[in-house]
Structure 1
Amino acid sequence: MSTALAKPAAQQPKSGKPARRRLTLAEWMLVIAGVLVLVSAVRLITGAHGITAVGQTSAALRLAVPIGLAGLGGLWAERAGVINIGLEGMLILGTWFGAWAGVQWGPWAGVVMGIVGGALGGLLHAIATVTFGVNHIVSGVAINILAVGATRYLSSFTFAEMEGGTSKQSPPIEPIGQITVPGVSDALATLNAKHWFVVSDVAGLLGGLVTSLSLLTIVAIAMIPLSRWVLWHTGFGLRLRSCGENPIAAETLGVNVYKYKYIAVMISGGFAGMGGAFLAEVASNIYLEGQTGGRGYIGLAAMIFGNWMPGGLALGAGLFGYTDSLNLRGGGQNVHALLLLLAILLVLATAWAVYRKKYLTGAVSAVVGLVLFVWYASVDEVPSQFVSAAPYVATLLVLAMSAQRLRMPKANGKAYRKGEGK
């Protein structure tokens, strides 16, 4: 089956444009090293040592996990050809079901029920879009609205009746265990506090990964390589992705397209539900109405930024989690330093665009870079209002800059009816 499905893709006619070459591992390592050197130089110039502090990295990771899980859910659904705008609603269901079970039976029961709650939202989305052919956007928006109303109604006679709870929040939930690597964590924190060039920055980034790390965070991070292996290295994954590329061809080869779409969308909801449980049990220790804060939509943006690939998605989630953590830690000075970093990156982007003879792109990059540099030079600290908006501004900027290189599954969002391939 896998060989048969692989042939049509290889036989597709080539377009006139040359295929984009992927960077090798060595090239990626050079890019990462270059970014670290640049970040370290900006930190020393501005004195904003908090941008690579252990606490900043730890907070960024904690905030990136629910975004990454929501984005991973979107990846599974859209690789099977179903657009999942309902990720926000599935996150909300995950927070409520996770808190409800967590209060009564413990945090891990809450995680399981959060996954179940999100999967139920995914099942509803699959019924609407796959079975009844409802527009995917309409169905997703309806699930987002329904999730808000359903959890508000359920809270009124569950949490409101519990000691320490109200109709808008749950009682405290027992925390999930955390681990800190003894010796290593302290050594990295010490190195980070010395503010050495590059060395302290690397120590800060690694220190955030070994200090007060939730066990659920480890599980969530493991889902990224696991999803890549399942989707790209198994027959199941190949059949699922064929449903998002060409469901009619997949049907002619014996693939039950409906079944794979249902499975993908329910897994999608399960990942979003896990992200919701993380918000209720790790990011905080209670369910609070409105605590998702649009992370389902940002997760969808991370998935698009990552070009529907797990690795790129993780990078996007990390970026958005980092900008969100700046607000959490009162990062006016840090955001001010990042203005200089962005201005330098845009100068480099301008040079690259000119080298590739994309003069319009280069001109836009140059103008934006100049504006950011003037802003950096004219103020000593960015206003708190902009710090609060930083995650959403970053989302828009990243999507705008990555729009030209995106390639979503060909049949994503398109209607499919069983029997079309016969």
Structure 2
Amino acid sequence: MTATDVAPGKPVAAPPPARRFKLTFPVLLIGLAALVILLSLARLVTGANDITSGGTISAALGLAVPIGLAGLGGLWSERAGVVNIGLEGMMILGTWFGAWGALQFDNPWAGVLAGAVGGAIGGAVHALATVTFGVDQIISGVAINIVGLGFTQYLSKLVFSPMKGGGAKQSPRVPIMGTFDVPGIGQPLLDLQNKHWFLVSDVAGILHGLTQNVSYFTILAILLVPLSFYLLWRTAFGLRIRSCGERPVAAESLGVNVYLYKWIAVIVSGGLAGLGGAFLSLIAAGIYRDGQTGGRGYIGLAAMIFGNWRPGGLAGGAALFGYTDALQLRQGGTSVHALLLVVALLLAAVAVFQLVRQRRNRAALVTGIAAIGVFAVFAVTDTVPDAFTSFTPHLTTLLVLSLASQRLRMPAADGVPYRRGQTK
């Protein structure tokens, strides 16, 4: 059609908008299958059999749970418009109260509840400071991190020091929580894994890690992800909370008590972070120790941002960080070196996608150069220095945030102070 074919005065139809990539469930399954195939190829090429072993997957699951719970706590708070930098301090409170509750009542589930309450107390303090009194949310979060660390050190000296096996910086051993096994498949899956066949052994190893010796606490943590999605995106209660993080003035005009829903969201946020801390003391270590969180609250925030403030993406980010942490703990340089090949192939695939589907030539060029650089490092080395492997989870955090930064959309009023009666 030319300009002469259009009738005078008749508006020309605008071209259809470019199609955006949408992550659906079938696409997610295809992506997971492709990732397993890449890991299987890397295992065959490098001989690093541990990258898909049941032990690595089980360790990754255990390492991902506290990060995921912290990130889920951040999700609840920020969906209501309150930035929660204090997740680390709330996790610290959860580690102490979790161990105390389990010892006090001689029951690990009492420790789970106590850890959630301890974190919720930190959340209530954050809500009082930020929602009620309008304190800067970043300052309040940093203060909670500092106070949480000092407060638990004081409580340890007061409560755990007199106990047998306890001390100023640790508790006695806590009661053990039971684990769950899917019966009848553990040994067959292990036998298949040990044959080291292409793809079949990798799938067997992954299934073995996900179905054997799984803590009931882990199952509870996994179920909290779809539960949070349902509550926040499928109920009127969740709609009100999310409206407080998007347009609190509009929500107030419709009769929503913005202060109340922000309070609820921040307290739930603290409770979830406290659960993550309780997992560390009750399951991961079986004992409370000073400094046990190790910055996982901050990594949980990174997982939440990587997941674009959505529960599913958050869970994927937590799994990624847990997996890289498990690799560097189990086989160190050999496994991380094999992972370089996977990263190079993934970067190459992202470059092709950016070039073909998104028409982002400059971004595709940068990503392609990065893929070539990672592959060159893989080709000229046989292992990765130990000093680098310990940094792998943190480097992964930086990489995924930089790659995901173009598609992120935080809640519109996230971190914006709100006062009742304001006009905008």
Same fold per superposition (TM over 0.5):
yes
SS of 2:419's equivalent in the other structure is coil
Deviation at 1:17, TM superposition (A): 7.1
Q: Distance in 1 between matches of 2:23 and 2:115?
A: 38
Q: Verify the 8 A CA contact 2:79 2:245 in the aligned structure 1.
A: yes
What amino acid maps onto 2:314 in structure 1? L
Other-structure match for 1:22: 22
Moved more, 96-105 or 404-413: 96-105
Q: Deviations over 1:219-264 (max 9, x none)?
A: 0000000000000111100111100000000000000000000000
Q: How does 1:7-406 map to 2 (within 5 A)?
A: 20-105=20-105, 106-355=107-356, 356-406=358-408
Deviation at 1:73, TM superposition (A): 0.2
Q: Deviations over 1:55-110 (max 9, x none)?
A: 00000000000000000000000000000000000000000111111122121111
Normalization by structure 2: what TM-score? 0.94
Q: Distance in 2 between matches of 1:213 and 1:78?
A: 30
Q: Distance in 1 between matches of 2:352 and 2:23?
A: 19
Q: Distance in 1 between matches of 2:17 and 2:315?
A: 28
SS of 2:390's equivalent in the other structure is helix
Q: Distance in 2 between matches of 1:255 and 1:268?
A: 20
Q: Verify the 8 A CA contact 1:249 1:421 in the aligned structure 2.
A: no
Q: Deviations over 1:114-160 (max 9, x none)?
A: 00000000000001110111111111011001101111111111111
What amino acid maps onto 1:37 in structure 2? I
Q: Verify the 8 A CA contact 1:239 1:255 in the aligned structure 2.
A: yes
Q: Verify the 8 A CA contact 2:73 2:272 in the aligned structure 1.
A: yes
SS of 1:138's equivalent in the other structure is helix
Deviation at 1:167, TM superposition (A): 0.4
Q: Distance in 2 between matches of 1:295 and 1:63?
A: 10
Q: Verify the 8 A CA contact 2:156 2:167 in the aligned structure 1.
A: yes
Deviation at 1:357, TM superposition (A): 2.5
Q: Deviations over 1:263-303 (max 9, x none)?
A: 00000000000000000010011001111000000000000
Deviation at 1:348, TM superposition (A): 1.6
Deviation at 1:326, TM superposition (A): 1.4
Alpha carbons of structure 1 residues 18 and 358: separation in structure 2 relative to 1, 3 Å: closer
Alpha carbons of structure 1 residues 376 and 24: separation in structure 2 relative to 1, 3 Å: same
Q: Higher Cα Rg: structure 1 or 2? A: 2
Deviation at 1:354, TM superposition (A): 2.1
Q: Verify the 8 A CA contact 2:50 2:331 in the aligned structure 1.
A: no
Q: Verify the 8 A CA contact 1:306 1:314 in the aligned structure 2.
A: yes
What amino acid maps onto 1:329 in structure 2? R
Deviation at 1:23, TM superposition (A): 2.9
Q: Verify the 8 A CA contact 2:91 2:276 in the aligned structure 1.
A: yes
Q: Distance in 2 between matches of 1:286 and 1:37?
A: 38
SS of 1:161's equivalent in the other structure is coil
SS of 2:202's equivalent in the other structure is helix
Q: Deviations over 1:149-195 (max 9, x none)?
A: 11111111111111101101110001111111221122211111111
Unaligned ranges ≥5, structure 2: 1-15
Normalization by structure 1: what TM-score? 0.94
Q: Verify the 8 A CA contact 2:93 2:118 in the aligned structure 1.
A: yes
Q: Which residue of 405, 416, 419 corresponds with 1:417? A: 419
Aligned residues: 407
Q: Verify the 8 A CA contact 2:116 2:274 in the aligned structure 1.
A: yes
Moved more, 250-259 or 353-362: 353-362
Unaligned ranges ≥5, structure 1: 1-15
SS of 1:334's equivalent in the other structure is helix
Deviant stretches of 4+, over 3 Å: 16-21
Moved more, 382-391 or 28-37: 28-37
Aligned-CA RMSD value:
1.4
Moved more, 337-346 or 178-187: 178-187
Q: Distance in 1 between matches of 2:329 and 2:103?
A: 26
Q: Distance in 2 between matches of 1:346 and 1:396?
A: 15
Alpha carbons of structure 1 residues 181 and 321: separation in structure 2 relative to 1, 3 Å: same
Deviation at 1:18, TM superposition (A): 5.5
SS of 1:158's equivalent in the other structure is helix
Q: Distance in 2 between matches of 1:196 and 1:373?
A: 24
Q: Percent identity, aligned pairs only?
A: 58
Alpha carbons of structure 1 residues 198 and 66: separation in structure 2 relative to 1, 3 Å: same
2:404 equivalent to 1:408: no
Q: Distance in 2 between matches of 1:94 and 1:18?
A: 47
Q: Distance in 2 between matches of 1:190 and 1:294?
A: 37
Deviation at 1:421, TM superposition (A): 5.1
SS of 2:83's equivalent in the other structure is coil
